[in-house]
Amino acid sequence: MNLLKSTPDQEVRILLLGLDNGGKTTLLKQLASEDISHITPTQGFNIKSVQSQGFKLNVWDIGGQRKIRPYWRNYFENTDVLIYVIDSADRKRFEETGQELAELLDEEKLSGVPVLIFANKQDLLTAAPASEIAEGLNLHTIRDRMWQIQSCSALTGEGIQVSRRPYIWTMMYCCISVKQNIRYLICEVG
């Protein structure tokens, strides 16, 4: 099986999570090449389909306010890739964001789902580097899934263009390969 070849109907379900004011919606609009001049906090969720390199990326952007977070689990089903966005300049919330990420990684419905962590707002002078965030969140202890942390600025678009980031594609190809193998096994057994 060639993992680098997509078919026209290849869909990838991406769940976009993180604390409020992290820049999730701005990041999503950048990915969709939309205007980012008027962004308001997401009170529920946004869904965008982005065509890229022969894939249809269905991105679910869920609000990050504390009162909305208990509802995140309603969106875990069938997630292929989890994107978690961190406000790199808001050091006061690193502990909180770390706890939320740890809880997500413990969720059974997200078991084995690759995680891409965007260390956002790198355009700000107070932003912590991605390496510092990775160390502070003990990301090196993640052993049950593929993961990557990437510095970015959703505001400027730096570091988020999917087509230029091979690790995003590696994660998606891995997910698609697993899906195809499961379908094959179901057909063979059934």
Domains in the chain, CATH or no CATH each: 11-189 (3.40.50.300)
65 is catalytic: yes
pLDDT means per 10 residues in the chain (190 residues)? 51 94 93 87 87 82 95 94 96 97 97 93 97 96 90 91 55 58 48
Return the bridge partners of 84, or none: 17, 117
From 53, 65, 148, 180, the catalytic residue: 65
Annotated binding site for GTP: 18-25, 64, 120-123
Exposure string of 47-69, with b = 16+ CB inside 10 Å and e = fewer, is: ebebebeebebbbbbbbbeeebb
Q: Report the phi/psi class of residue 101: left, alpha or beta, with left for phi > 0 and alpha for psi in -120 to 50.
A: alpha
pTM (2 decimals)? Answer: 0.85
What does residue 62 show for φ and ψ, rounded to 5 degrees?
A: -105, 135
Question: What are the helix and strand counts (H, E) for the chain?
Answer: 4, 6
